[in-house]
Amino acid sequence: MGTYGGEALAALGDPTRRAIFECLARGPKAVGQLAGELPVSRPAVSQHLRVLKQAGLVTDRANGTRRIYQIRQQGVQAIHAYLEQMWGQALASFQAAAVPAAAAADDERQEQS
């Protein structure tokens, strides 16, 4: 996976890209439809879609003269895997710190008894 999930998360760090992504979560849309739902120009929507596509979060297909964009499930899965990995590392770090602290607290209680 590498940093793929991290790159996808970074792409969603921009509020406009996140709003576009959330619109696409409701279903495939053309650039014009997205621009109509958001306070962003069509050229700006296209630029944001380019970033989302480079991050692997959306895909597009031709429909006549329009391009229809939709969420790419593999991109969402990469974010999920990345967050799961980070959560696992955080829990392991917590456990590594908590076990010695708990042992020290037990030792202190025993000394006081």
Tens of pLDDT, residue by residue over 14-47, are: 999 999 999 999 999 999 999 999 999 999 999 9
What is the side-by-side strand order in the sheet with 66-71? 29-30, 66-71, 58-63
Model pLDDT, residue 101: 76
Number of domains in the chain: 1
Each residue's pLDDT tens digit, 33-85: 999 999 999 999 999 999 999 999 999 999 999 999 999 999 899 888 888 88
The reply to whether the predicted model has a pTM over 0.85 is no
Q: What is the CATH number of the domain that holds 30?
A: 1.10.10.10
Answer yes or no: are the C-beta atoms of 50 and 28 closer than 8 Å.
no
Band of residue 105 on the pLDDT scale cut at 50, 70, 90: confident
Mean pLDDT value of segment 83-96: 79
C-alpha 81, offset from chain centre: 10
What span, in angstroms and rounded, lies between the C-alpha atoms of 25 and 27?
A: 5
| Predicted confidence band of residue 1 (pLDDT cuts 50, 70, 90) | very low
Q: What is the domain extent for residue 64?
A: 4-112
Burial 43-81 (b: 16+ CB within 10 A, else e): eebeebbebbbebbbbbbeeeeeeebbebbeebbebbee
pLDDT of residue 3: 53
| Location of structure tokens 């053309």 | 30
